[in-house]
């Protein structure tokens, strides 16, 4: 999938995007478990490798209160000292995987993703050029790994799974990659990014045909 001019694609997508996406996309009528949603942000780090861009992901430690052991983008809840959610994403990335904010070229952001657990998560897209030496913050991150971006954006790899939660069937996206099971909000954000890039490609093709 063509990801050139991704900044422009993100800007154009924001003009027609819904106010939010979230776990309710696959579960109509589902509400978060709390009314006072917590603002948070994650960085979707695009690492510019010679063989093509990859995406850096983490496996969270099992001891974390929320989403322990799950695959996630670096990020977390907004701090009162953060000027905006972009700063939240950059600060959390620096704290969790030791990638300094000056190493990240921010390309844009997507609409917030609302989780059933009560978070409003803003995904920030950032480009990172090596060399980098990520290091996990041991209290929050068990493992750091990369997945080729083309793999994540391939619809063939986007699966729909479900599980029973308190007698209710919850549906969610999953993108298995080797021994890693990417699912839930992280997979949902990847699907949303795919939507943005595909819509931009279709719009560009339509424009060319009309000329």
30-85 tens-digit pLDDT: 999 999 999 999 999 999 999 999 999 999 998 766 666 899 999 999 999 999 99
| Confidence at residue 155, expressed as pLDDT on a 0 to 100 scale | 97
138-166 tens-digit pLDDT: 999 999 999 999 999 999 999 999 999 88
| Confidence at residue 1, expressed as pLDDT on a 0 to 100 scale | 65
Task: Report if pTM > 0.85.
Answer: yes
Q: Are strands 113-114 and 21-22 parallel, antiparallel or unpaired?
A: parallel
d(CA 162, CA 118): 20
For residue 61 the two structure tokens come to 């430690």
83-106 tens-digit pLDDT: 999 999 999 999 999 999 999 999
Q: How far is CA 98 from CA 1, 88, 90, 91, 144, in A?
A: 29, 14, 10, 10, 11
Please name each of the domains of the chain with its CATH number: 6-210 (3.90.79.10)
């Amino acid at each position: 999938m063509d990801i050139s001019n991704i900044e422009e694609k993100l800007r154009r997508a924001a003009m027609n995007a819904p106010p939010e996406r979230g776990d309710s996309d696959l579960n109509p009528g589902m509400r978060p478990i709390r009314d006072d949603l917590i603002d948070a942000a994650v960085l979707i780090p695009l690492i510019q490798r010679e063989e093509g861009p990859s995406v850096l992901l983490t496996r969270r430690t099992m001891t974390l209160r929320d989403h322990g052991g799950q695959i996630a983008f670096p990020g977390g809840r907004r701090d009162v000292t953060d000027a905006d959610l972009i700063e939240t994403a950059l600060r959390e990335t620096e704290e969790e995987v030791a990638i300094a904010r000056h190493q990240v070229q921010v390309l844009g952001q997507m609409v917030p993703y609302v989780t059933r657990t009560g978070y409003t998560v803003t995904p920030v897209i950032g480009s990172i050029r090596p060399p980098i030496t990520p290091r996990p913050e041991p209290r929050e991150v068990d493992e750091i790994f990369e997945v080729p971006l083309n793999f994540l954006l391939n619809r063939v790899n986007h699966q729909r799974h479900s599980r029973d939660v308190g007698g209710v069937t919850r549906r969610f996206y999953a993108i298995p990659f080797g021994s890693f099971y990417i699912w839930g909000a992280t997979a949902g954000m990847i699907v949303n990014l795919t939507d943005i890039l595909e819509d931009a490609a279709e719009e560009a093709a339509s424009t060319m045909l009309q000329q």
